[in-house]
């Protein structure tokens, strides 16, 4: 079941990336014919290999994150080492404390140089077992090079938007000449130029959801405890969803996730993890990193800025 699910997720990711590349090539063909399609695709590949990787420390510094040492969280840091070894990483990710009450965790960097940020809200509300499930998810992202994959998708999406805008500008510039010469532009061409960026963005979101499923399966594999992550997901849905309901929909339920979400529906993620748990109970390859007795919350040391709220910055980011 686990291998079949991971294979399906990989095939879906490859298909989505191929669709984004084809969309980019189609725009190049509309603007410059066959030569334009080739130039667009080659240009995209060149930019992929030339695209610099931002060091995780620089990004985390922007968030005012603080690196956690072994003395601050010995059991957690020990678990990170075990999970990294099981995931086949040559170097364990550095763990950072994010001074935000929002329950959040994310991974940055490459397999060789990576970091994982855990928010104050995550550390204060999760048990050790649940945190290990979350760490397994993020370490799986690092192992699968999801940062690079999503960077590639983002590059395709940005190039698609640039070519679509360039094509629309050319249409408006040449519109008087086409009108007097009697030439007509296909409405399908206009529609593709207008909606191509939106289609590319939706494909990018679909890819993100697929990679999340794959990371969930990876967490179940390297932790040996699918229920740890499913418990963490349920708690995040309950706490975060309750906050969103109070803010935006008082007296009503939070709407179901749609194609505009970056993450899959929590209920579906928990269902898949339950299936993996049933499979692993009959043939467990690895012992759980955290025992079932690890249900208590960890007493974390007070760190500076632990109660600072995220604010919107001119860059468009909240931190």
> Catalytic annotation on 138?
yes
Tokens of 115: 């970091």
Tokens of 128: 């050790």
> What's the per-residue H, E or C state across the chain?
CHHHHHHHHHHHHHHHHHHHHHHHHHHHHHHHHHHHHHHHHHHHHHHHHHCCCCCHHHHHHHCCCEECCCCCCHHHHHHHHHHHHHHCCCCCCEEEEECCCCCCEEEEECCCCEEEEEEHHHHHHCEHHHHHHHHHHHHHHHHCCHHHHHHHHHHHHHHHHHHHHHHHHHHHHHHHHHHHHCCCCCHHHHHHHHHHHHHHHHHHHHHHHHHHHHHHHHHHHHHCCHHHHHHHHHHHHHHHHHHHHHHHCCCCCCCCCCCCCCCCCHHHHHHHHHHHHHHHHHCCCCCCCCCCCCCCECCCCCCCCCCCCCCECCCCCEC
Residue 306 CA to residue 313 CA, distance in Å, equals: 19
Tokens of 57: 């420390």
Of 138, 268, 287, 302, the active-site residue reads: 138
Annotated catalytic residues are 138
């Amino acid at each position: 079941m686990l291998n079949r699910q991971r294979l399906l997720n990989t095939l879906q990711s490859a298909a989505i990336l191929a669709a984004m590349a084809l969309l980019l090539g189609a725009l190049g063909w509309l603007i410059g014919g066959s030569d334009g399609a080739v130039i667009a695709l080659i240009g995209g590949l060149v930019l992929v290999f030339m695209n610099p990787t931002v060091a995780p420390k620089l990004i985390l510094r922007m968030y005012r994150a603080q690196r956690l040492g072994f003395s601050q969280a010995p059991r957690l840091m020990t678990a990170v080492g075990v999970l990294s070894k099981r995931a086949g990483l040559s170097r364990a990710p550095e763990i950072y404390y994010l001074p935000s009450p929002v329950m959040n965790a994310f991974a940055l960097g490459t397999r060789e140089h990576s970091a994982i940020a855990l928010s104050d809200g995550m550390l204060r509300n999760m048990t050790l077992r649940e945190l290990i499930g979350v760490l397994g998810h993020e370490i799986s992202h690092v192992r699968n090079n999801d940062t690079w994959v999503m960077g590639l998708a983002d590059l395709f999406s940005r190039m698609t938007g640039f070519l679509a805008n360039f094509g629309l500008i050319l249409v408006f510039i040449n519109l008087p000449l086409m009108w007097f010469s009697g030439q007509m532009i296909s409405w399908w061409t206009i529609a593709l130029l207008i909606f191509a960026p939106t289609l590319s963005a939706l494909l990018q979101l679909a890819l993100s959801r697929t990679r999340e499923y794959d990371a969930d399966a990876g967490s179940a594999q390297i932790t040996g405890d699918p229920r740890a992550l499913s418990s963490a997901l349920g708690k995040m849905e309950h706490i975060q969803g309750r906050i969103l309901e109070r803010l935006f929909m008082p007296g009503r339920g939070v709407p179901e996730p749609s194609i505009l979400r970056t993450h899959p529906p929590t209920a579906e993620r928990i269902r898949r993890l339950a299936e993996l748990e049933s499979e692993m109970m009959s043939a467990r390859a690895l012992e759980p990193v955290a025992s079932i007795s690890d249900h208590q919350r960890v007493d974390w040391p007070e760190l500076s800025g632990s109660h600072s709220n995220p604010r919107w910055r001119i860059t468009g980011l909240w931190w």
